[in-house]
Amino acid sequence: MLKEYDVIVVGAGHAGCEAAAAAANMGSSVLLITMNMQTIAQMSCNPAMGGIAKGQIVREIDALGGYSGIVSDKTAIQFRMLNRSKGPAMWSPRVQSDRARFAEEWRLMLEQTSNVDFWQDMVSSLLVENDRVAGVITGMGMTIRSKAVILTNGTFLNGLIHIGDKNFGGGRTGEKAATGITEQLIGLGFESGRMKTGTPPRVDGRSLDYSKMEEQPGDENPEKFSYSDTTQPLLKQRSCHITYTNDQVHEILKTGFEKSPMFTGRIQGLGPRYCPSIEDKINRFADKDRHQIFVEPEGWNTVEIYVNGFSTSLPEDVQQKALRCIPGFEQVKMFRPGYAIEYDYFPPMQLDLTLQTKLIENLYFAGQINGTTGYEEAACQGLMAGMNAHLKIHGSGPFILQRSEAYIGVLIDDLVTKGTDEPYRMFTSRAEYRILLRQDNADLRLTRKSNALGLADNTRVSRVTEKEGNTAAIMKFFKDESIEPSMINARLEEIGSASLNQKVKMFSVLARPGVQMQDFEACSESARAFLSQFRAEDIQQAEIQMKYEGYIQRESDMADKMQRLEHIHVDTDIDFRQLTALSSEAREKLAKIQPLTLGQASRISGVSPADISVLMVYLGR
């Protein structure tokens, strides 16, 4: 008989691993239950972390004391900062990962976390007593008690794999589905739905002709995800490659449409809008004569290749024939075909902002069970659920990030307040305060908050304090020091900026479009000598804060104004259906979601500004 735990985490994917690590590092005893100990932190889809907006989330996880950034750095084979041609609010770090090393490193980190125990089994049902979760019952019939349970089941709940006209139960290829939990939760009053995702074929890199493709190397001076000193930037990197589909590929793919589970109606769940299958792409975008294919190595020492952009559930023979018409793939050997997978999820409006369910106390959902897609979205939910489960059972208040504080706050608020009926993916466009929520300042925004709760350690806070001090010193230098026209005019003319007629402060020149910090290092001895004592990240932080000072201040003011609504709390015992001055849709939505603040109420679809005014009057404003 296993002991009683503070927290049981069900599922050891990205959400489960972060949840277990967070709760354990804060002091809870944690049991991580997985159906297969060999697939902890498995990268089920593409071997990469980060990307547009997702990279910001990984840096936020790291700033809060989570492990995803560290594991990504230690197992990366390539680093790229995406969107460098745009402003810093859009810069997004991304690594290509060694799939096998990634899972191995996560497991090692969890095994070195003293409060985490492991158990290999399927959880078939929850132990619920008086509307509160009290543990789990496993497939082997064991009852394991706990104070809180976090469900991070990924694609395993009644998972169904589709390849052509064949389908079979499974949570991912070669692994069985999880049964029992959905049916129990529905019996307890939860609403469930079906979603779909897919993955492309894996192929033998030795059978590809890379001379027919475009090489995509990593950054010349690679950075890293983690703010800590436990990881270092890559010294060597592996390239990815780009090739394209063509009309011949599309015609071959169309021959399989009659057996496609997507078009025959065998798949009921909605797939991710922003990561469609190749058959969906050629059907929806019939005017496009080609689609980009990213040829991504699965690790340092493997020949296995991930064919990014070719997600499909068409029959294997159609996949093989179509692949062979892609430039560079003429002699391709396939390791395994792509497939689609359908699985159960629970619409996330059934949660509060801590990711605790509204129906069952101390039961938390994180990851794809909430309708999200992507490792990064799952990992940050796991982290927040782990933190909040620990805080709840130890009698502390909740930890909720506002939309102006983190992409994680945006994601959770979107899910809980607006819900989702298709796999939710994070984008920079979802964040109204993205100038504040940059990838370079996640540590400044979040580390002290986490440290106050007992997760991010004191070493991290010391590093943040040092970074703030260095940034302030650099900004002071640029606001105090002047530069002679003769020193900078040649560079200004080069970029098409007006020449100087007299000495001016360096700060005012740096504010000009096209002028960079390195220009001062190149032309001013005093600037070069002063900046040489600082780390690159401190210099970058100061440069961004100076160049975008006005924009940052404007967005900060806007966030402060909106924050006033977040401070107006809404009583949980209000019967919104009795407030006849509200529109009928507002009464229905408010009663269902039960917002905690006026700010959250204002973001509910169907609640108008007029409804918010009515609520203000009712609340005594």
Regions in the chain scoring below 70 on pLDDT: 1, 262-265, 274, 621
- State residue 124's pLDDT score: 95
- State residue 61's pLDDT score: 98
> To the nearest whole number, what is the mean pLDDT of the chain?
93
- State residue 204's pLDDT score: 98
- State residue 274's pLDDT score: 66
Pairing of the two strands 143-151 and 5-10: parallel
Contact (CB, 8 A) for 194 and 36:
no
- Spell out the residues 6+ positions from residue 42 whose beta carbon is closer than 8 angstroms to its own: 13, 103, 172
What are the respective helix, strand and coil percentages of the chain, to the nearest 5? Answer: 40, 20, 40
- State residue 621's pLDDT score: 52
Contact (CB, 8 A) for 219 and 79:
yes
List the Cα angle 186/187/190 in 5-degree steps: 35
- State residue 75's pLDDT score: 98
Tens digit of pLDDT for each residue in 160-172? 888 888 888 888 8
Burial of 179 (0-12, 13-18, 19+ CB in 10 A): middle
Instruction: State whether residue 364 is helix, strand or coil.
Output: strand
User: Cα dist. 457→202, 381, 407 in Å?
Assistant: 40, 20, 22
Tens digit of pLDDT for each residue in 260-302? 776 666 777 777 776 788 888 888 888 899 999 999 999 999 9
Q: Where are the beta strands (DSSP E) in 152-301?
A: 160-163, 166-169, 193-199, 202-204, 214-216, 240-244, 292-297
- Spell out the residues 6+ positions from residue 297 whose beta carbon is closer than 8 angstroms to its own: 47, 77, 96, 205, 238, 240, 304, 305, 306
Helix ranges restricted to H, 202-310: 247-254, 278-284
Separation CA 130–CA 318 (nearest Å)? 54
User: Which tokens hold the place of 167?
Assistant: 């389908």
Separation CA 472–CA 475 (nearest Å)? 5
pTM above 0.85, yes or no: yes
List the Cα angle 143/145/151 in 5-degree steps: 90
Q: List residues bridging with 7 in a β-sheet.
A: 30, 148
Instruction: State whether residue 258 is helix, strand or coil.
Output: helix
- State residue 29's pLDDT score: 98
